[in-house]
């Protein structure tokens, strides 16, 4: 552990973390942002973002590049690494990393979430060989082939629309008889001739040889099973929070509980964006969280 004590350590470089950094840096706080993999978070994998106010439709990578550029203009220098734990040590918070322990007066958790897996036979075996959790990353490899998309929320339907531009046919498998995605996205998908809907169904297995050649689908109402011959399976059935490294109050799914000022159960530790319990997980809500948490964290630091 070094003697240095940062004012604020932000864990995660997605929209929430970068916004918190911008607000904290403008408040002249001594800020360190730690990112595990790459700046941008999950939205950087999105083909197009068209619901962030004040911007023309653009890719998630482009949007997050603008966030990063703005944060760096205020002096942000991200550090890359993995956080092992965050603990309260009275006068400061201790953040354990692979490079040693760091200290801060306040911490903002902006670590986001990761895709939930189906947990069916073949999924792990064929991950990277036909099973994917990112259409914009891997869609190109399935040009003019048939694929299946699993899920019915915003991400699943958006990714199905993206894939429909590339592949021969998309079979969208959803356990209900209607989609949960935003209405405008639903309309686009329902009117896309290259998207076929497999309602009231779940994928029960993924099979192939060296790569995926098909999936088994079961109808939840009739219990009848059938096989779909596809070259790829894209899974979008929800997310799991990246919250294992912190021991604080969480909901049953592991999302961090906060109050309306984004305070966690640990004094001086705040949570923003997808990692916390919230009704909506979007760039716009993460940005609002980041701004609020940076402001409240500033108040907390002043109180010390």
CA torsion angle for 253, 258, 260, 261 (degrees, to 10)? -150
User: The CATH number of the domain where 43 resides is what?
Assistant: 3.50.50.60
Structural contact between residues 273 and 16, judged by C-beta atoms closer than 8 angstroms? yes
Q: 55 and 137: one domain?
A: no
Question: Considering 180, 210, 235, which residue would you say is the last residue of a domain?
Answer: 235
Other Cβ atoms less than 10 A from the Cβ of 272: the count is: 33
Low-confidence ranges of the chain (pLDDT < 70): 1-2
**134 in catalytic set:** yes
**137 in catalytic set:** yes
Query: What is the model's pLDDT at position 2?
Result: 64
Question: Considering 206, 235, 264, which residue would you say is the last residue of a domain?
Answer: 235
Query: What is the model's pLDDT at position 211?
Result: 95
Structural contact between residues 26 and 36, judged by C-beta atoms closer than 8 angstroms? no
Which residue matches tokens 């482009």? 62
Q: 84 and 167: one domain?
A: no
Q: Could you tell me how many residues make up the chain?
A: 304
Among candidate residues 99, 137, 177, 247, the one labeled active-site is 137
Among candidate residues 30, 88, 96, 134, the one labeled active-site is 134
pTM: 0.86
Q: 71 and 212: one domain?
A: no
Structure tokens at 209: 């040889």
**177 in catalytic set:** no
Q: 228 and 253: one domain?
A: no
Backbone angles phi, psi at 230, to 5 degrees: -140, 160
Question: Which residues form the domain of 84?
Answer: 5-114+239-303
Structural contact between residues 44 and 60, judged by C-beta atoms closer than 8 angstroms? yes
Among candidate residues 138, 146, 196, 200, the one labeled active-site is 138
Q: 67 and 92: one domain?
A: yes
Q: 144 and 166: one domain?
A: yes
Query: What is the model's pLDDT at position 1?
Result: 57
Upper half-sphere CA count for residue 231 (Cβ side, 13 Å): 13
The number of folded domains in the chain is 2
CA torsion angle for 288, 294, 296, 302 (degrees, to 10)? -160
Residue 220 contacts by C-beta under 8 Å, 6 or more apart in sequence?
Answer: 175, 200, 201, 202
Q: 40 and 69: one domain?
A: yes
């Amino acid at each position: 552990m070094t003697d240095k004590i940062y004012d604020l350590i932000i864990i995660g470089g997605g929209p929430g973390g970068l916004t918190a950094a911008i607000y904290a840096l403008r408040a002249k706080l001594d800020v360190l942002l730690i990112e595990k993999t790459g700046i941008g978070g999950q939205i950087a994998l999105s083909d197009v973002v068209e619901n962030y106010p004040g911007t023309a439709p653009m890719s998630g990578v482009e949007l997050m590049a603008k966030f990063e550029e703005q944060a760096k203009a205020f002096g942000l220098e991200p550090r890359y690494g993995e956080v092992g734990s965050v603990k309260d040590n009275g006068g400061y918070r201790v953040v354990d990393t692979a490079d040693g322990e760091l200290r801060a007066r306040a911490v903002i958790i902006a670590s986001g979430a990761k895709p939930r897996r189906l947990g069916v036979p073949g999924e792990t075996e064929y991950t990277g060989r036909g099973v994917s959790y990112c259409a914009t990353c891997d869609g190109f490899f399935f040009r003019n082939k048939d694929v299946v998309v699993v899920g019915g929320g915003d991400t699943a339907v958006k990714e199905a629309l993206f894939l429909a531009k590339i592949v021969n046919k998309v079979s969208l498998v959803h356990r209900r008889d209607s989609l949960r995605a935003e209405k405008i996205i639903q309309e686009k998908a329902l009117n896309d001739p290259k998207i076929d809907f497999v309602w009231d169904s779940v994928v029960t297995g993924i099979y192939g040889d060296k790569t995926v050649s098909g999936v088994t689908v079961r109808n939840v109402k009739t219990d009848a099973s059938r096989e779909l011959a596809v070259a790829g399976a894209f899974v979008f059935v929800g997310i799991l929070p990246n919250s294992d490294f912190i021991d604080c109050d969480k909901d049953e799914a592991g999302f961090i509980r906060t109050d309306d000022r984004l305070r966690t159960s640990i004094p001086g530790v705040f949570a923003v964006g997808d990692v916390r319990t919230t009704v909506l997980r979007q760039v716009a809500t993460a940005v609002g969280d980041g701004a609020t948490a940076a402001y409240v964290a500033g108040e907390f630091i002043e109180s010390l």
